[in-house]
Structure 1
Amino acid sequence: MKKMKKYRLPIAIVAAVAFFPLVIFFSYYFGKIYPNVYIDEINVGGKTPEQAVLLIGKNVSTPEKLTLESYEIDLASLDFSYDINHTVQAATAVGRTGNWLFDIKTIFSLLNSKKEIGLRYEIDDEKLTKQLSDIAGGVIVEPIYPSAQIIKKEVVINPGEKGVDVDMPALKLAIGQNLSLAKNSPISIPTKEIDPSLDADELTAFESRVEKFVGKNLTLTFEYQEFFYNDNQLAGLLAPTGGIDEQKLQEEIYEVTKSINREATNPVFVFEGGKVKEFAPAKDGVKVKTDQLKSNFEGKINALETTDEKHFSLTIPALSSPPEIATGSVNDLGIKELIGRGTSRFRGSIASRVYNINLAASRLNGTLVKPGEVMSFNAALGEVDKLTGYKEAYVIKDGKTVLGDGGGVCQVSTTLFRAALNAGLPIIERRAHSYRVGYYEQDQPPGLDATVYAPTTDLKIKNDTPGHILIQATADTKNMTLVFEIYGTSDGRVATTTKPVVTDVVPPPEDLYVDDPTLPAGEIKQIDYKAWGAKSRFNYTVTRDGETIYQKTFNSSYRPWQAIYLKGTGPAN
């Protein structure tokens, strides 16, 4: 026991001797920055925070510009400034984390090596990003991503090309290091290669996939809308390395959805002066089931790739919600629902013809036909001439195609004829054109046209339904389509038309050239266009409760038509 007491005193003395320097060290650096701590190569060790702030403030200057290779950025435009107080706080915190083991280790390391603290600063990151993006625009080389086209049944593959992009995170890191160390040396712009190109095996596999779509197509339908994808468009949806390009497919679905989705709307019915001035039927709200559409879309694309089928149709899945008010609730004329619809296209029409189609459609829009009444197209439309607003466009007159007032009106009568057939209404009078007109065969076979020419040639339709019928016409001059809709009361009738049978096809006569002294010699001007002759026939049947209530066969005979050119024989200009 005495021996242990004998050793305690020397141990205490040794401990006191060892601890005394630490007491001196911590006492000296109390409230001061530990030794060997540097800010911008300035030793702030042993300084109080206040002393360090003054020292750094006197010796550190704010740079004016940031140099990125050949580009310069004015730092003032980025609201740049050094935060000296924050920087000194960071220096003061060295060795003072609260973790004593870690702090002791840090302090001992400071006795042998210096610790550099980067300058803290403030900068508008949004403005910096904007300027860096502008600079990157001069550095970036856009890659060319692989793509496929089907042109005239030939597959064309672009394998893609490498590109160069700016490594923005690395660039911002380099800028941060440059500013925190108060350096003003030029910074290299870090770049990275982007290589989306296909190797030989991938190229062969991609081409093989695309070839399976040649001559194939897909149609998405909803109500009366159609979205048609030909082989080239389908090829564009394929991912070059396999599967379907998700982003492109989502973009297509977005466009489809945007065209279909709608809120439920209540009807509008304004009746003035014996004519409906404003009408809009009640419409269900519609919301496309996008997940199901995507799944079905992908399924049809895969089916086209893996089978020999040339065409698939897909009905777009959607949810519907009814309006608060039904169409029949806003009128007592029997205008309750859509009973018939007809469409036509007029792509390639000259401007005056498009104008006349739009004008004639607008004048028939809102026409009411009483129960039992026979509607005359010519009477409902009124006079067609310059005085009533029509322009000159090509018409068939006296066996020739000539410029005449109201060219294009037959597009309107043809479309109304198709709507009446769809509605199951009796056609009292209808005549086909003298020769086949290309506009009417853009979406239908020959035989579904109806010509008019007042006062001799008319289209007459009877309303044999229980209530009035309302005729609505819409000309879409952007997409070159015309739509007629007939509203009324459905009595359960069902209309069917057989596919027109085309016979006795006759080629057009040889082109005819007629000398014209009013044209300079050598000038050729086409004034008529060739058309094949043919006969067309289809049957029209209307039934109700299984009983035939109306039946008619429509025959059309089209003469072959030669192209006619005027050949100038007059003095040369």
Structure 2
Amino acid sequence: MTSGSDWFGKPSPQGPRPDDTVILNELSDGSVAVPDEADATVILPASSHTMIMPPVPREVPALERIPAAEPEPPAPEPRKRGKWLVAAGVASLLVVAAGGSAAYATAGDIPRGTEVLGLDLGALTRDEAEKALGDHVATRSTQPARVRLDGKDVAVQPDAIGLAFDVAATVEAAAASGLRLFGTRQILPAVRLDAAKLESELRKQVAPERITMVRPAIAFQGTEPVTRYGKPGLDLDRGLAADRVKGAWPTGDVADVPLTTRTPEMTDAQVDTLVADVAKPAVAAPVAVTVGAKTLQLTPAALAKGLVFRPDAAGKLAPAIDATRLRTAAATALRPVETAAKPASVRLVSGRPQVVAGAPGRLVDLAKLGPELLAVLGQPAPRAVTGVLATTDSEVDEAAVTKLGIKERVSTFTTYFTGGRSSPRSQNIITVAKAVDGAIVQPGATFSLNGHTGERTYAKGYKDAPVIVGGVLEPGVGGGASQFTTTLFNAAYYAGLEDVEHKPHSFYFSRYPSVIESTIFYPTLDLKFKNTTPYGILIDTATTGRSVTVSMWSTKVYDSVKTVYGPRRNVTSPPTVNREAGPRCIATSGLPGFTQDAWRVIRKDGQEVEREKFTWRYDPEPRFVCGGQD
């Protein structure tokens, strides 16, 4: 043994002597190189200790001369055999130690001493390493990315930018990091990130005036191309931002993302060339689209809406077809060859709600048509392409409708009218009721009557009937729609839905409940209510020759909804107003004006949960005399 060292202990503080020590060389393939000097001290790496072998003694030749007549006898055979045994023992120890070291270093798939974010993955299999690393970064994965953006501290949620640890890629890098016998190696975690989404999120946080670089752009005003040339200035660098965030987020550090001075990649001449070669020829003439046996025309106006010029990551513009914009602009042209998908719905069958399956539609595949259009837009007229129809499913399927929980009637309200079905006013009530019948209000959604029916016009079947205009009854298109509005308002009111917008009539009409009623006038007066329940609402309408009824179907939430009235007060008598005789004058007998309060009382689980106050002041309705003298 060498002095100061134990066979399985640590080396002496003095260490082995440099003149009689050989350190085994680790090769790249994990093997060990042994020096030629076999009689020196050998240090072998073992599984947990450093092994020091004593040097093999050398034969020291005699100092005095030996006479030739008396040659020295040969060394005894046992001594020679002993020397070879020692040498063989050393060699055997070398082989065993080398083999043990290689086995130690190559255990598992991950080399020993390999760490990721402080986690030792050494000697683990790939599956074990992925499980361990996944657990290790689970908490970190939900932490926002901290960014110092242009000197301002902001936080970005990982889900918003597709930021996540790539555990499999990190483990693969660890497995390929190379063998080692001593020390540790830190492996940087692989991170996934959507650079475009990161840029979008960060731009929301930058003051607009700080972005001074101007990107080139091409748009259409009508069918005339309008250009904007680029200018250098401060801007957000997408690539720099992505690199900084991916580097800082895994360790919880702050990513410093400054604005940098940038020059647009596209020159003015390149913008002008794009306008001359694509934008102007695109809208110079229509494009014929043949779908099956029919041919339709995409007008220059529709092409101008659908053709856009989008910048790439470097800011260079390229033409593209925006399918959504083109479909909106060309809806009339596409209609003869398309069939819209029908969503699943709920209908009343024998007085009970029943889910009805939807049906797929057939629409022109604008995603496939886009490249064909781009190929011909730069050509002179005539231009033609071929379109195909694609099957499209409805966005609302049976499962989604069933989940709404529409199973019972939760409210109903009826108002009455005169004149039978044939009068213009009655026909308007029936027309608007049909337009609303079957509408479904999703949980949390707000229903707008004007939004649902649009403007009530002659083209939609509405007729002239009395309406209040400027405090005076006159004929107007859609007169009588207010009676349906009042009926719908009361059905929503007694279903316990939230009142968003309504306005009672300026005059009181006895056919309506006082205060709890509503008028409508497109587009200034609307009826809106919000579905505050966790269930869907089906609006069912029904008419007879003398009444209109609106019922709400859903899952019952409240025990009861009732109205408590206060007394009428501030009653005023109607004045007499003489009007010029003619078709615009409608004679009335007059009604008094008054103010009244009403409280909606809602009870649930045997308790009053809400008491909402409604108050309205009615003007006295004048006694209009047509052709009378003032």
TM beyond 0.5: no
For normalisation by structure 1, the TM-score amounts to: 0.39
